[in-house]
Structures are given as C-alpha cells and as structure tokens.
Structure 1
C-alpha cells in the first residue's frame, strides 16, 4: 500500500513540475530510479518509543512516555532522531516496518544541535539513507516528510524559509528549515529531497514558518543535517558534541516586540534557586542588553558553563538584580542506573 501510494504521489508531483518535459513525454526510467530512492528513504524511517527514568526532570514538560520517529543513517543500525524524544530515557524501542519492535540504546543526546542518536541492539534489516546538503535547498523546493511506526505517514511539503531559530527552552541554531503544511507527527520525522537524501529531522510545529512579523503561516521546523555532519563522530565517541558543554539556568522564555519574559522556571534549577518567576522581564544578562532570545542564550553560553550570571529584571514595575549560578546542562540530566 505505502509503495503504491508513494509512486502515485511522486508521479503526480513530477508530472506537474515537468509538464511537457522528458518525464511527461514518457521517460519512465528516471521516474523509476527516483521512486526507488524515495521508497528506500521511506523504509529507513522507524518509530521511536521511549520511557524516561522515574526521577527525570524532563517529565514535567515532555511526559514519561514519548512517541516519535527516527531515521536509519548507519549500516550498523545507527538511528538519528530529535533529542527530546530520548532525553533522560530509561528504555527505547524502535518500531520497524510498522510493527516489529527492536530495542535500542541511547548513544548521544546533543544539547547544542538538538539531535539524538540511537543504536539498535538487534538487526534492523533496513538500509540506511544518505545525508543531503540542507544549505543547498531552494525556497519552494518540493520535499517529502516521512514519519515512522504503526501510524507512519508520508506527505509532500514545501520549504518556505531557512533562518535562525531561538527556542524558549535555552536553545538556538543559526540555520533551521521551515516547511508547510504542518504535520502533527513531526517529532523525529525525516525531511527528504526527491533524491531520497535526508535533509532534516522534525522538531516543532510553528505558527510563523515564514518568520516573525511576516504573517501567520503554520508549519514545521526541522533541524538541518548540515549541523550533524561535523559533530557526528564526536557524538558517537563522547555522547554529545563539545558545544553541548554550556551554561544552563532552567528558564523558558518568550520574545515579543523586543521584550523577553520568563514563561516558566524549572523546579530546583539555578533560576529557581535565584528566585526568578514567571512574568519577569529580563533586561540584561551580564553586560548585554536583552531584546531577543538569541542575545539571551548566546550571552549565557559565551563563557564557562559553571559560573555566576547576573540578570537585571523588571518585576511589578521595579528593577531587580539577581545572581544565578549557572550549571553545565549535561550534568543535570538523569540517566538509568548503571549507565
């Protein structure tokens, strides 16, 4: 069923793009070759089921049981996914071919990029996909999104922007891929070009795929694979890239009209210990004025991970200065006993 649907989808897409071209005039060999590449890409997308350790701090926001997707990128059963699916995981299973369950172990969780790596503990019997060049994508280029598991789906997508992205959860990347229409099963889903190459891993649903101030256009944000290539060996060897050794406060913040405000404070975090509260407006961090999340996070990360950070805030109309002792985020994460 999935194979037949993919071929119909691909043929309709390519025929529409190339009406009057060699494809429309009957050059089926090129179509068949591309269809095989895309079928291989779809087969490489597996389901990911994870369960967090009992005392994981991430349960408060992500829940204890998490479901999403991953993409096989290694002949040895290496699977790339989005990190929050496997953050502080006690157990992880991969769902192959919609129903076969294969146990896996967490190889890496990378704070800086947001990627996660899993290693299958039994043969997957799935061919890996190649990594494409996400930076080479053109706006409006047709793409495919594939999710895995029993309810895995395939759909067409369109790239509408590539730009920096700052997350509310102490996260920033300088390049992110934004596609439409939105998919709700985006977590860890694979974004592919029409050559079957992996371009990105699904992270979020967003309301502003075109960018802030351009108008509401719901879509998805994907973390580009270009970020993975220079750190993949390091992630496999160390469990994270060196960029993931960075300061952490335990804040969720929002940005609007040049103001950054605290949305949530993680319990027992440095920010909680220092007295930060939801609603606080952050005016300065150390010597930098804060008008954007990017400034807040990049200033936080530019020095040692474990140090005192000075925040100037406005609360109930009054200025306050708070000193927060930041910690290394990687040291705060819970792991299964014996690992």
Structure 2
C-alpha cells in the first residue's frame, strides 16, 4: 500500500499543475495505465551500497563508502546507476523495493558518459526491467517523476527545465544533459521517468542553479545523464567494461572558466598534471599552440590527442610569466583501480 501511496502522491501533484492538465490525463483521475507504469518503474528501483577498493585514489573525493540508487534494466539482473557510486569499488550490494539484499559486482564504468553498470549475483525475481525513453521526445516544462532508493523507494514530481550541454570541472562533458527542478537531495543514480514509466535519465548532480547563462532566472535543480546515450555504447560496455569514448587522455586537474579563461583550481595527486608541475591558480592559455576558447573546447582538444603519442604541450600563465609545459599522454582507463579478477 505504501508503494501506491507514493505513486498517487506524485501523480496528484503532477495533475494539479496547469500545464499537466492540458495532457490526456484528467486532472482529477490519473489513468490506471499511468499508475501501473509508475508502480512497475518503482519496483525496478534498488538501493546501491558500495565500498571502495583499498587505497583507491577516488576514495579521497568520493568516499570509501557510497550509497545511491540503481535501476534494473535487464532481465539478467543488470542495473544502471551513476558511475561514481561504483568507481574503484569492490564490495557492492543492492536492496530491492521488497527489502531483499543481494550481492552485486561491477560490470562496466564509462568515464565519457558517467554511466555505471552492475549486476546482481542472485536472480532478481518479481522485478520487470524498465524500458528506455527518449529525452528528445519530452517537452520543456513537462512534468516527470524521480525515483530514489533509501529506507523506502520514493517517487517524487519534478519538471523538465532544459536539455543542453553540461561541462564539469573534473574533465567531463556531455553534449546533451537533462536539467530538472525542483531538486531531490538523494540524486545519485536516481531514475528520471516519464509518465509512461520509461527511464529518461540517471541522476548525477545537485546544482544551485540549473538555468543557462542566457536565462536571468536562478533555479536549484538536478542534472541527469540521458539514457539516450546508453544504447550506442551498451554492447561495448558489456563486452569490455568500458565505453568506446572512455579511452582518452587525462590530465588530472579540476578547472573552471572565469571571464573566458580557464583556471586550474585543483591538481590530482600522482596525476600527469602533478608530474608536470601544474599548480592550482595557474591559467591554461593554449594546447599545442592552439588557444583555448572554452572549458568544453579545452577538454575536447585534450581528448582528441592520440593515445600513442608520448607528450603534448600546454601554454600556462602562472601570474608572472608564460610557460610551455610538456605533459605525458596518459589513458585514464588504464590507471583506474579494479577489483581483483576484473
């Protein structure tokens, strides 16, 4: 009964909005098809708990113990979540909506999208895998449903505010990301669904302001990785444990864009950047002599470097002089710690 209580609360909220009242579902009577679709989606939500590999570098920033949400997408127990929950981890367990706990293992981590795949080591009976939706089919302003796992699986309403690129300070970029509001706190791996119960995205971030720079409105919300990105890389992820675009050069810096220039704000220990002597506070002016136009363009220039080359050159301004600094070309995927036997 509690499951349907949460579902009905979400639907009633959705139906109370003027924009939603214009859809085919009556404002006062959600369709039985919608109820069943969301109930099925909720039943496919699992709580993901993980423990980092001993001495894993990512444990310093992501934590030794992590917890978030996963969504069952395969009849064989395949679960989609956000990658940082399982990056460099070895002990994973899931808890279903029926409060059953099962061990799981890492199947794949895709650095390019941020997706993580795990699989239950025990068959998941009574759970129907979710179907994937297409974010391009959704309209801005449309009401959606967020599913998060915790003491209980909870469905909550949110609204699609935008679909546009996202660039993260940690050498991450999506050409298309989903932005919603109001936000949910337990966003890590949260499932974003349409009212057909189709999975549209996987929760990645809480953002104090999800609006574009051109929009004067400031609005807190969440960023989701669209599941549209999964289908083209799923086969390779299952076969190789990684997506095709994840084999690329890595610097090991956190950077921000300030007044049209790129500034380093953190250097990862034992990274190529640290080995080359880069420091927080320095400005990146050019790569291989080519001026840096934006943070996204900078990342794409780095990722376009051939992995079989030995070094590349960054032009750096340290506040006093311009420096030409060579860095080694390092494939990030080769230095991520993996569980024993993987």
Which TM-score tier does this pair reach, normalised by the shorter chain? over 0.9
CA apart distance, 1:100 = 1.9
Structure 1: which 5+ runs fail to align?
A: none
Q: Quick one: distance in 1 between partners of 2:155 and 2:338?
A: 34
Partner of 1:217: 219
* 2:274 aligned with 1:241: no
Contact 1:37–1:196 under 8 Å retained in 2 = yes
CA apart distance, 1:15 = 5.5
Partner of 1:322: 325
SS of 2:95's partner is strand
Q: Quick one: distance in 2 between partners of 1:334 and 1:297?
A: 23
**TM value normalised by structure 2:** 0.94
Structure 2: which 5+ runs fail to align?
A: none
Partner of 1:291: 293
Partner of 1:332: 335
* 2:166 aligned with 1:150: no
CA apart distance, 1:285 = 1.3
Q: CA RMSD for the aligned pairs?
A: 1.9
Partner of 1:226: 228
CA apart distance, 1:266 = 0.8
Flag the 1:46–1:273 CA change in 2: closer, same or farther, 3 A. Answer: same
Contact 2:97–2:152 under 8 Å retained in 1 = no
Q: Quick one: distance in 2 between partners of 1:40 and 1:209?
A: 29
SS of 1:264's partner is strand
CA apart distance, 1:213 = 4.8
Partner of 1:69: 69
Q: How does 1:143-292 map to 2 (within 5 A)?
A: 143-215=144-216, 216-292=218-294
CA apart distance, 1:186 = 0.5
CA apart distance, 1:319 = 1.0
Q: Quick one: distance in 2 between partners of 1:22 and 1:71?
A: 27
- Give a deviation string over 1:33-88, Cα, whole Å, max 9, x none: 11100111111111110111012110111011111111000111100001111001
**TM value normalised by structure 1:** 0.94
CA apart distance, 1:8 = 3.6
Q: Quick one: distance in 1 between partners of 2:61 and 2:160?
A: 29
Number of matched residues? 337
CA apart distance, 1:284 = 0.8
CA apart distance, 1:292 = 1.6
CA apart distance, 1:202 = 0.4
CA apart distance, 1:151 = 4.8
